[in-house]
């Protein structure tokens, strides 16, 4: 009986069984499973995971995690964990009703092997073969996109419901936690210890990661910020202040044992470093004496807050506060990283709290979950309920109690002009140019080039000159790489010529992207300048034996989808961050 006849003759619908790892589920998986519901009474997902299979790094999600993910992508499907690959036994063990027949849904390369297992069964079994297509969607390519931080490819291939930044970050963390999968794909060793709350991307770099969609997202954020800061929006942008604290500290109650702990980003290592005692701190972090001292202070004072969750924050000070004069004003200062923060040493409540505190910390992320392995990040943090004289704790949300941060008509006009220019130019920028730039490795070279320009204090003004300087930079950077053989030199020379030919072929489109990049930088700087006008804490950068005034490190904007981008004056803060010697 062929498949179409089988479906036609059935008085009652059979059950469908889809066999696969779904690690993670792609948009193709999602479509196959949803299509199955139109043909079958129930659809089971058999996740066959024997002892050896479960150790494979490509299986970076546990069965329970895949079960929860399927609730997002295919909520009607019934996932079943199978420890052995003999399908009739799995059907029997799980009491699956076979009275109306069973359809085995699998790819062309495996369907025959699965069907051979049903020689002795008494119920009807029909193959529902998934034909190979020209589509390039696959779970392995999704894993590669995760490893390469390639959000655009991930978003195109991943199942709907997972196609957002939060799931991208979460799956990257799970993948890194498993072990070597990311290293095997692209040898990116730095990713292995990456935390849930990943490095937040710059506003202007968003299009480099997300292409045309990143441009559109930036326009929406710019419009929301414009309306928020001009007092004309019913929907306000969520804005947080970026504090230049160090180190990043994770602290709170481990849900697995109810004990208070402190850690760093190493909490997300393959083997987490979680310290409950000073001895633990020394054992895990003894290679960095200053870090040990600060974490022991955290372990000593933070439990008094009575926290019953897990927070991530940036440490501002412990015993390293100073009392000095800045511009003739008596101040309490602390320099956790690049920026020095100064509070007038007066009788204000703020000064009293900081003066008496033994430790200061700004919290920006909360983590929730039943185990350390399943923690997920929340950015809506409120720590105002915590109070203790030994701890000055604050959250990062921006507040303008003065009401004076409102854009002038000229500022609104400037922003509207730039938004209009972005919308005009972006119509001529096709999504495939971003794919080509990524395939040629141009993105990473551009990031390095742009950072070099920042270090030199060179702003992006004339985009045509910036393009020419970028081409020169690529040639010099690749030529200067060490080469032991003439064959290597010849291969490198060929690569340089290929890149130059590519850049010249697409010069118009790339110059257009540089122009958009410039517009986003100028928009961002207007927002940063306006937001920096209000602060109860002064911000300075060391200059010789004294200080010079600077802006805060920057701000973060959270859009309606929960995506976060940072607004930083990179010629101000980032240049200092690159070039100043760090006390920490």
Residues 538 and 534: their CA atoms lie apart, in Å, by: 10
Q: Is the pLDDT at 261 greater than 90, yes or no?
A: yes
Residue 212: left (phi > 0), alpha (psi -120 to 50), or beta?
Answer: alpha
Q: Is the pLDDT at 569 greater than 80, yes or no?
A: no
Q: What is the mean pLDDT of residues 187-195?
A: 27
Mean pLDDT, rounded, of the chain = 78
Query: pLDDT: is 400 or 474 the higher one?
Result: 474
Q: Is the pLDDT at 201 greater than 60, yes or no?
A: yes
pLDDT score for 573: 43
| pLDDT band (50, 70, 90) for residue 405 | low
| pLDDT band (50, 70, 90) for residue 334 | confident
Q: What is the mean pLDDT of residues 102-130?
A: 84
pLDDT score for 271: 84
Four-residue CA torsion sign, 219, 225, 226, 232: positive
Q: Is the pLDDT at 189 greater than 50, yes or no?
A: no
| pLDDT band (50, 70, 90) for residue 549 | very low
Q: What is the mean pLDDT of residues 541-546?
A: 54
Minimum mean pLDDT among 1-15, 98-112, 322-336, 462-476: which range?
A: 1-15
**Assigned token pair, 29:** 């998986």
Residues 56 and 62: their CA atoms lie apart, in Å, by: 11
Highest mean pLDDT among 67-76, 278-287, 553-562: 278-287
As a whole-number percent, the residues of the chain with pLDDT over 70 amount to 78
pLDDT score for 302: 96
Minimum mean pLDDT among 259-273, 365-379, 479-493, 569-583: which range?
A: 569-583
Please list the residues that pair with 261 across neighbouring strands. 252
For the chain, the residue count is 584
What are the domain boundaries of the chain? 3-137, 202-238+401-584, 244-395
pLDDT score for 121: 84
| pLDDT band (50, 70, 90) for residue 276 | very high
pLDDT score for 184: 31
Q: Is the pLDDT at 263 greater than 90, yes or no?
A: yes
Q: Is the pLDDT at 436 greater than 70, yes or no?
A: yes
Minimum mean pLDDT among 169-183, 363-377, 407-421, 543-557: which range?
A: 543-557
Q: Residue 572 has what DSSP assignment?
A: I
Minimum mean pLDDT among 82-86, 396-400, 464-468, 484-488: which range?
A: 396-400
DSSP per position, 287-325: T-HHHHHHHHHHHHHGGGG---SEEEEEEEESS--EEEE
> If you classify domain 3-137 with CATH, what class do you get?
alpha beta
Q: Is the pLDDT at 196 greater than 50, yes or no?
A: no
Highest mean pLDDT among 178-182, 439-443, 521-525: 521-525
Q: Is 377 helix (H, G, I), strand (E, B) or coil?
A: strand
| pLDDT band (50, 70, 90) for residue 195 | very low
Minimum mean pLDDT among 40-49, 96-105, 106-115, 501-510: which range?
A: 106-115
Candidates 265, 212, 257, 237; CA nearest to 425 is 212
Q: What is the mean pLDDT of residues 148-159?
A: 87
**Tens-digit pLDDT profile for residues 35-62:** 898 889 999 999 877 544 444 456 788 8
pLDDT score for 583: 39
DSSP per position, 435-501: HHHHHTTHHHHHHHHHHHHHHTT-----HHHHHHHHHHHHHHHHHTS--SSHHHHHHHHHHHHHHHH
Query: pLDDT: is 509 or 563 the higher one?
Result: 509
**Tens-digit pLDDT profile for residues 346-355:** 888 888 988 9
| pLDDT band (50, 70, 90) for residue 234 | low
Q: What is the mean pLDDT of residues 471-498?
A: 82
Minimum mean pLDDT among 131-145, 187-201, 473-487: which range?
A: 187-201
pLDDT score for 116: 78
Q: Using an 8 Å Cβ cutoff, are 311 and 250 in contact? A: yes
Residue 231: left (phi > 0), alpha (psi -120 to 50), or beta?
Answer: left
| pLDDT band (50, 70, 90) for residue 315 | very high
DSSP per position, 513-571: HHHHHHHHHHHHHHHHHHHTT--SSEEEEEETTEEEE---SEEEEE-TTS-EEEE--II
Q: Is the pLDDT at 499 greater than 60, yes or no?
A: yes
Please list the residues that pair with 201 across neighbouring strands. 565
């Amino acid at each position: 009986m062929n498949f179409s006849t089988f479906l036609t003759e059935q008085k009652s619908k059979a059950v469908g069984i889809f066999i696969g790892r779904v690690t993670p589920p792609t948009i193709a998986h999602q479509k196959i499973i949803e299509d199955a519901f139109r043909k079958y009474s129930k659809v089971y997902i058999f996740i066959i995971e024997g002892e050896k299979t479960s150790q494979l790094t490509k299986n970076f999600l546990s069965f329970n995690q895949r079960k929860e993910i399927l609730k997002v992508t295919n909520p009607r499907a019934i996932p079943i964990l199978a420890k052995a690959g003999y399908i009739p036994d799995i059907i029997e063990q799980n009491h699956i009703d076979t009275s109306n027949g069973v359809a085995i849904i699998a790819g062309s390369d495996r369907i025959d092997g699965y069907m051979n297992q049903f020689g002795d069964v008494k119920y009807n079994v029909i193959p529902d073969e998934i034909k190979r297509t020209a589509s390039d969607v696959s779970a392995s390519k999704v894993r590669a996109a995760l490893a390469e931080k390639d959000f655009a490819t991930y978003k195109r291939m991943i199942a709907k419901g997972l196609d957002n930044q939060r799931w991208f970050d979460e799956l990257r963390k799970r993948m890194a936690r498993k072990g070597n999968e990311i290293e095997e794909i692209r040898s990116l060793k730095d990713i292995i210890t990456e935390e849930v709350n990943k490095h937040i991307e710059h506003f202007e770099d968003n299009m480099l990661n997300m292409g045309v969609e990143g441009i559109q997202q930036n326009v929406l954020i710019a419009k929301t910020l414009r309306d928020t800061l001009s007092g004309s929006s019913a929907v306000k942008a969520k804005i947080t202040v970026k504090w230049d604290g160090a180190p990043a500290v994770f602290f709170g109650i481990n849900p697995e044992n109810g004990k208070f702990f402190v850690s760093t980003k190493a909490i997300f290592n393959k083997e987490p470093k979680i310290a409950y005692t000073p001895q633990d701190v020394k054992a895990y972090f003894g290679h960095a004496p200053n870090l040990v001292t600060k974490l022991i202070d955290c372990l000593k004072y933070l439990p008094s807050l009575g926290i019953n969750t897990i927070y991530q924050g940036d440490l501002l000070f412990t015993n390293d506060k100073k009392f000095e004069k800045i511009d003739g004003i008596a101040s309490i200062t602390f320099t956790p990283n690049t920026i020095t923060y100064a509070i007038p040493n007066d009788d204000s409540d703020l000064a009293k709290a900081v003066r008496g505190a033994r430790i200061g910390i700004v919290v920006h992320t909360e983590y929730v979950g039943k185990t350390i392995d399943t923690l997920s990040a929340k950015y809506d943090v409120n720590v105002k309920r915590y109070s203790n004289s030994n701890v000055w704790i604050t959250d990062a949300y921006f507040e303008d109690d003065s009401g004076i941060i409102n854009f002038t008509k000229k500022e609104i006009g400037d922003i509207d002009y730039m938004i209009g220019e972005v919308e005009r130019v972006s119509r001529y920028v096709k999504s495939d140019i971003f794919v080509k730039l990524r395939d040629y490795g141009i993105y990473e070279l551009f990031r390095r080039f742009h950072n070099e320009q920042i270090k030199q204090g060179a702003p992006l003004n004339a985009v045509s000159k910036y393009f020419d300087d970028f081409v020169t930079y690529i040639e010099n950077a690749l030529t200067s790489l060490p080469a032991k053989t003439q064959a290597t030199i010849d291969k490198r020379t060929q690569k340089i010529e290929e890149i130059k030919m590519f850049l010249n072929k697409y010069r118009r489109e790339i110059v257009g992207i540089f122009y958009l990049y410039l517009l986003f930088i100028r928009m961002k700087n207007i927002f940063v300048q306006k937001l920096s006008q209000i602060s109860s804490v002064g911000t300075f950068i060391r200059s010789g034996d004294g200080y010079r005034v600077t802006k805060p490190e920057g701000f973060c904007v959270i859009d309606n989808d929960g995506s976060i981008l940072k607004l930083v004056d990179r010629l101000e803060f980032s240049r200092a961050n690159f070039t100043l010697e760090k006390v920490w």
